[in-house]
Amino acid sequence: MIIRKVEAKIINTPIHEKFKTSYGEFPNYQSHIFVRITDEDGYTGIGEASQLPFFTGETTTMMKSAIENVLGPKIIGKNIFSLEEIHNEMNMALDPATSAKSAIDMALWDIKGKRLSVPVYQLVGGKEKNISLAYVLGEGIPEEMSELAVQKVEEGFKTLKVKVGLNPDKDIESIKLIRKAIGENINIRIDANQGYTVKTAIQTIERMSEYSIEYVEQPVPGWNVDGLAEVRRQTKVPIMADESVHSIHNALQLIKQGAVDIFGIKLIKCAGITHAMKIINLAEAAGIDFVLISPWDTMLGTHAGGHLSMLSSGRYAHELVGPFYISGDPFKSSLNANGYQPAQQPGFGLPDCFDQIQEE
C-alpha cells in the first residue's frame, strides 16, 4: 500500500456552448489534468483537476509541474491510507496549490476504494441516493437565456442556475423572462460571482425575490465576509458562499459571522475530498447545507463530486454537470438530466484509461 509512482497528463476538451460570467467569456475549451497513482502492488487510482485559474491561481501547466517536480516526489513512499500525513507533507512542500493537491487526493481515494473493493461513497460514509442536477446558464441576452432555459427544462432539468452580476437591471430582466418561460415548478438559483457591491446586492436580490429564487451564490467579493453577512441580514433569500470558502478556516469564519446558509464546495478549492469532508462536517454541526460544484470536469471529476454528494441532505440539486458542456471526455459520459447515482464498482467505478489518454 506504499505509493511507488505518481504520473500526470494534460488534455483539453472542447466546450460546445458559449459561456459568460462576471469574470468574462470563457474560452471554447477546458483544460484538465489527470493524475495516476500506483502503489507497490500495482493498484492504481486516478484523479482530475480542471483549471479555473481565477479561482485557484493555477493553470494545468502549473499543476503538472507542481505534481511532477514537487508534490509527487514528496509523497513517494507514503502509505495510501495516510491522508493527513500526505497532505501535511504536500503543504510543507508547496502552498496553496489546491487544484494540484485535489487531483492527487482524488486519486488516493480511488485507489483506497479499489484496495478495499468498495465504492468511494461508502468510504466517506454516504448513503446511496439519486442526486438532482442543476444546469448552469451563462450570462447573456435575456431572451436567449430564457429560450435556453426552456430547452433545458424540456430535457429534464428541475433546477437552473443563472449567471448574473454584470448589470443589475439586465439580470432582473433575465430572471423575469426565465421564470415566465419555465413556470413556477422549476427551481432558479442565481450566481453573481462576486459581481455586486453590498448595496447593489441587497437591492437586486430584493427585486428578484418576487420570482422565487432558491438561493443567491456569492453576491459580493469573496474577501468581504462582513458584506456577505450584511446581505444575508437584509434579504430573505438564502445566501451561498463559494469564492468565500476555500478552507475549513474560511468556513468557520463564515459561520461565526452569520454570513451564509449554504456552502458551495469545489474540490479544486479545498485540495480534494479529504478537506471537503472537514468543511461538510463543520457545516452539519452549524446546520448549514452544501452543494457540490464540479466545474467543467470530465466524468472522473464528476464522479468524485458525485460520490461525496451522497453525504448531502438531498434538499438542493448539485452542479455536477461538466460532461453536458464538453466533448471528447476520455471517461465517456453516462449522465442525464434525471440525476446522478454513484457507480457501485470499487473506487469511483471508472476504468483506468490513463495510458490511452493522448496528452496535449
Give me the CATH number covering residue 94.
3.30.390.10
Same-domain status, 105 and 213? no
> Grid coordinates standing for 234?
437584509
Burial of 236 from C-beta contacts in 10 A (0-12 / 13-18 / 19+) = exposed
Q: What is the pLDDT of residues 37-48, one digit of tens each?
A: 999 999 999 999
How many domains are contained in the chain? 2
Instruction: Tell me, yes or no, whether 104 and 133 share the same domain.
Output: no
Query: What is the C-alpha separation between 320 and 199, in angstroms, rounded?
Result: 32
pLDDT score recorded for residue 21: 85
What confidence score (pLDDT) does residue 18 get? 81
Grid cell listed for 79: 502509505
Domain boundary among 91, 117, 143: 117
Average pLDDT of the chain is 95
CA distance 108 to 123: 12
Which residues 6+ apart lie within 8 Å of 310 measured at CB?
A: 121, 124, 126, 127, 128, 129, 131, 342
111 & 206 share domain: no
**Domain shared by 179 and 303, yes or no:** yes
Residues sharing a CB contact under 8 Å with residue 168, sequence separation 6 or more, in sequence order: 196, 200, 203, 204, 207
Quick: pLDDT tens for 310-341: 999 989 999 999 999 999 999 987 788 989 99
Tell if the pTM clears 0.85, that is, is over it. Answer: yes
End-of-domain residue from the set 117, 139, 154: 117
**Residues designated as active site:** 163, 266
Decide if 72 is inside a domain.
Answer: yes
Residues spanned by the domain of 284: 123-325
The verdict on 81 and 183 lying in the same domain is: no
51 and 130 assigned to the same domain: no
Q: Is residue 111 in some structural domain?
A: yes
CB count, 10 Å around CB of 63? 29
- How many whole angstroms separate alpha carbon 248 and alpha carbon 212? 31
With a pLDDT cut of 90, the percent of the chain lying above it is 91
- Report the pLDDT averaged over residues 284-304: 95
Same domain, 91 and 127: no
User: 360 pLDDT exceeds 80?
Assistant: no
Shared-domain flag, residues 127 and 17 = no
Enter the C-alpha cell of residue 100.
Answer: 494540484
Residues 168 and 36 in one domain: no
Q: Are residues 77 and 139 in the same domain?
A: no
Question: pLDDT for 225-275, tens place per residue?
Answer: 999 999 999 999 999 999 999 999 999 999 999 999 999 999 999 999 999
In 3D, which of 302, 303, 310, 253 has the Cα closest to residue 122?
310
250: CATH: 3.20.20.120
> Tell me: the pLDDT tens digits for 55-85?
899 999 999 999 999 999 999 999 999 999 9
CB 115 within 8 A of CB 150: no
